[in-house]
Amino acid sequence: MSKTSTFNVPFRRRKEGRTNYYKRLAMVKSVNPRAVIRKSTNHLLIQLVQTEHGKDSVIASAHTQELGGFDYKGHGGNIPAAYLVGYLLGKRMIEQKKNVETIVDLGVQPPVHGTRLFAAVKGLVDAGINVKADPISFPKEDRLKGKHVEAFAKKEPSKMNRSQFGSYVKKSISTEGFSNMVEASKKTIDGRVKA
């Protein structure tokens, strides 16, 4: 009869599927800061996190709710919004002289190419941040600028009142100039956040 237990109880956050401790340890051992990207259905948050003496500290952050102050009126849970948030954080990092090699931390989210997560990484890269990322994983330029929304509106104008674009109809946002709005927001970020 065994007198010791052969079963190890996993850490709570690992059991909940919220933290992969092996990946986290490898990232923490590196001296480089991490760009922590977390998404929900309607929003996306990016934080620049530096680990020192076993403690995380947030140096800079950007959230899709902030984009309203940069002339963006679209939904916060789409690819153009994720791109703009990554671009905004990148500009803030340069403003704070934190333009060092950065590690992307997606947590336990699956790294699917062409999604909002990689749109945010593309925003960081376009802002001038040194991030190791394969360009194959980035969404196409047309999707980053929101031209797919315009194309859908022209192709299926009768479906614009669906729940998919219901918030645009309520806010009286024209989908015809959606890509122009994204470009204008990017220029506003350039103008307000000085590098």
CA torsion sign for 194, 127, 76, 178 is positive
pTM: 0.88
Domain spans in the chain, listed from the N-terminal domain onward: 18-192
Separation of alpha carbons 134 and 142, rounded Å: 18
pLDDT computed for residue 185 by the predictor: 93
Measured CA to CA, the distance from residue 33 to residue 104 in angstroms comes to 9
Q: Give the per-residue pLDDT at 25.
A: 84
Give dist(CA 134, CA 113) in Å, integer. Answer: 10
pLDDT recorded at residue 97: 81
Tell me the fold of 18-192.
Answer: Nucleotidyltransferase; domain 5 (3.30.420)
**What is the percentage of the chain residues whose pLDDT exceeds 90?**
48
Q: What are phi and psi of 43, to 5 degrees?
A: -145, 170
Of 15-19, 31-35, 140-144, the least confident: 15-19
Q: What is the mean pLDDT of residues 126-136?
A: 91
CA nearest to 36, candidates 22, 25, 50: 50
Higher per-residue pLDDT: 56 or 123: 123
Confidence of residue 92 (pLDDT cuts 50, 70, 90): very high
pLDDT in tens, 137-178: 999 999 999 898 888 777 776 666 666 677 777 777 777 788
Beta bridge partners, 36, equal 47, 105
Q: Residue 131 — φ and ψ, nearest 5°?
A: -125, 130
